[in-house]
Amino acid sequence: MDAAIRLDKLTKFYGSRVGVEGLDLEVRPGEIFGYLGPNGAGKTTTIRVLMDLIRPTSGTATVLGMDAQAESVEVRRRVGYIAGDPSLYGNLTGEETLTYAASLRGGGDWRRVHELADWGGDGRRRGPGGSYWRRVHELAERLECDLSRRVGTLSSGNRRKIAVIRAFMHDPPLLIMDEPTGGLDPLMQEEFGKMVREASEKGATAFVSSHILPEVEQVCDRVGIIRQGRLVAVESVDTLKSRAMRSLEIEFGERVSPESFSNLEGVHNLAVSGTTLKCGVTGSVGPLIKAAAQFDLIDVALHEPTLEEIFLTYYVGGEQDRAA
């Protein structure tokens, strides 16, 4: 398998409205891929096609080497999925919800969790499904989630925790997650990031849609930026940053002339006020630093752009998103 997810000219229309159009994308095995865009850009449409919750107008989607539509049952069995608005049965407890999810995948007998005599000396459950349910309790403890309460009595954040456990509990080779941390407090968001990184270290792939850019910046290897249903960039976070303009401020021990720094490659919006030079730089800062070294150089401050600042460059001045 050369791609965990592959989209080929994927297109989805809702009547005359564009959901996504002409998407070509490959997500590599083992990577954490961030799928970025504001609400309505097409992120959820893409994910729903991957999970065969909606059918594309044209094009194809392949998940773990399987056709997302023709082999959707096996795709759902092998993928850990978190919907943007998880649907859970309010009259079931957390335990019952996860038991039901496990039965759909053919895994585990929840009742055996409570039979303490079945625990082996190595900390693993003897008999079928044991380690599977040990994993459930580990995740519940990490997320501070009470599985004995009925889902309908839980806050939105605690219902989200149940959805997260349901996605991770069978250690799937692929996680597909639509705005997965919505409703989680900052500490739980940090714990969720650790869980994603741990899964990746074990070889799993993660496809994470989000508009919370600092979170994506911390955990993702590559990102795709979608605008009005079309991919406008697919790059590593580091590459996006290297191509973006950084702001530079240099303090000299003497007055300098702007002409001393004119026509330098990659230097933009240069302004000199007394002994202070400010400008934007794309690419290498070497030519500017060499020119500055001819003078009495006191201090240099370089501001690296955040992913949020880079993201905004793809949206400032754009039309309102038309995608679903």
Check which CATH number belongs to the domain holding 265 and give it.
Answer: 3.30.70
Segment 79-98 mean pLDDT = 92
pLDDT in the model for residue 192: 95
Q: Which residue has the tokens 């003078």?
A: 295
Query: DSSP code of 172?
Result: -
Written as six digits, the tokens of 319 are 């039309």
320 lies in some domain: no
Q: What is the percent of the chain where pLDDT is above 90?
A: 61
Q: Which residues of 30-57 are buried (b: 16+ CB within 10 A; e: fewer)?
A: bbbbbbbbeebbbbbbbbbbbbbebebe
- Whether residues 180 and 219 fall in one domain: yes
Write out pLDDT tens, residues 7-20. 999 999 999 999 99
Q: Which residues of 193-222 are buried (b: 16+ CB within 10 A; e: fewer)?
A: bebbeebbeeebbbbbbbbbbebbbebbbb
83 lies in some domain: yes
- Whether residues 234 and 255 fall in one domain: no
**Opening angle at CA 302, ends 297 and 308, nearest 5:** 170
pLDDT in the model for residue 62: 97
- Whether residues 168 and 266 fall in one domain: no
- Whether residues 174 and 236 fall in one domain: yes
159 closest CA partner among 184, 189, 186: 184
115 lies in some domain: no
Is residue 307 predicted with pLDDT exceeding 60?
Answer: yes
pLDDT in the model for residue 112: 43
Q: How confident is the model at residue 130 (pLDDT cuts 50, 70, 90)?
A: low
Is residue 120 predicted with pLDDT exceeding 70?
Answer: no
Higher pLDDT, 254 or 126: 254
Written as six digits, the tokens of 147 are 């599985």
213 lies in some domain: yes
Q: How confident is the model at residue 316 (pLDDT cuts 50, 70, 90)?
A: low
Is residue 93 predicted with pLDDT exceeding 50?
Answer: yes
Write out pLDDT tens, residues 26-41. 999 999 999 998 888 8
Write out pLDDT tens, residues 167-219. 999 899 999 999 999 889 989 999 999 999 999 999 999 999 987 777 788 88
DSSP string for 57-119? SEEEEEETTEETTTTHHHHHHHEEEE-SS----TTSBHHHHHHHHHHHHT---GGGGG-GGGB
145 lies in some domain: yes
The answer to whether the beta carbons of residues 267 and 281 sit under 8 Å apart is yes
- Whether residues 188 and 273 fall in one domain: no
Q: How confident is the model at residue 145 (pLDDT cuts 50, 70, 90)?
A: very high
Is residue 101 predicted with pLDDT exceeding 50?
Answer: yes
Query: DSSP code of 264?
Result: -
pLDDT in the model for residue 323: 39
Report d(CA 29, CA 120) in Å as an integer. 34
Q: How confident is the model at residue 131 (pLDDT cuts 50, 70, 90)?
A: low
Report d(CA 228, CA 315) in Å as an integer. 10
Q: List strands edge to edge, sheet with 297-303.
A: 267-273, 276-281, 246-252, 297-303
Q: Average pLDDT over the chain, rounded to whole?
A: 86
Query: DSSP code of 195?
Result: H
The answer to whether the beta carbons of residues 46 and 23 sit under 8 Å apart is yes
Strands, DSSP E only, in 136-227? 174-178, 205-210, 222-227
- Whether residues 88 and 163 fall in one domain: yes
- Whether residues 174 and 285 fall in one domain: no
212 lies in some domain: yes
Report d(CA 268, CA 246) in Å as an integer. 10
128 lies in some domain: no
- Whether residues 57 and 15 fall in one domain: yes
Write out pLDDT tens, residues 256-292. 999 999 889 889 899 999 999 999 888 788 899 999 9
- Whether residues 232 and 260 fall in one domain: no
Burial class (CB in 10 A: 0-12, 13-18, 19+), 59: middle
Is residue 107 predicted with pLDDT exceeding 90?
Answer: no
124 lies in some domain: no
Is residue 71 predicted with pLDDT exceeding 60?
Answer: yes
The answer to whether the beta carbons of residues 219 and 193 sit under 8 Å apart is yes
Helix (H, G, I), strand (E, B) or coil at 322: coil
- Whether residues 171 and 186 fall in one domain: yes
Last residue of a domain, one of 240, 271, 294: 240
Last residue of a domain, one of 218, 240, 262: 240
- Whether residues 67 and 23 fall in one domain: yes
Report d(CA 106, CA 108) in Å as an integer. 7
pLDDT in the model for residue 134: 83
pTM of full prediction above 0.85: no
The domain total for the chain is: 2
The answer to whether the beta carbons of residues 37 and 44 sit under 8 Å apart is no
**CA 232 to chain CA centroid, nearest Å:** 17
Write out pLDDT tens, residues 154-168. 999 999 999 999 999
Segment 93-99 mean pLDDT = 91
Range of the domain at 267: 245-304
Report d(CA 294, CA 318) in Å as an integer. 43
Q: How confident is the model at residue 313 (pLDDT cuts 50, 70, 90)?
A: confident
The CATH number of whichever domain residue 233 belongs to comes to 3.40.50.300
pLDDT in the model for residue 238: 81
Report d(CA 297, CA 283) in Å as an integer. 22
Q: What is the percent of the chain where pLDDT is above 70?
A: 89
pLDDT in the model for residue 241: 74
- Whether residues 64 and 149 fall in one domain: yes
pLDDT in the model for residue 303: 85
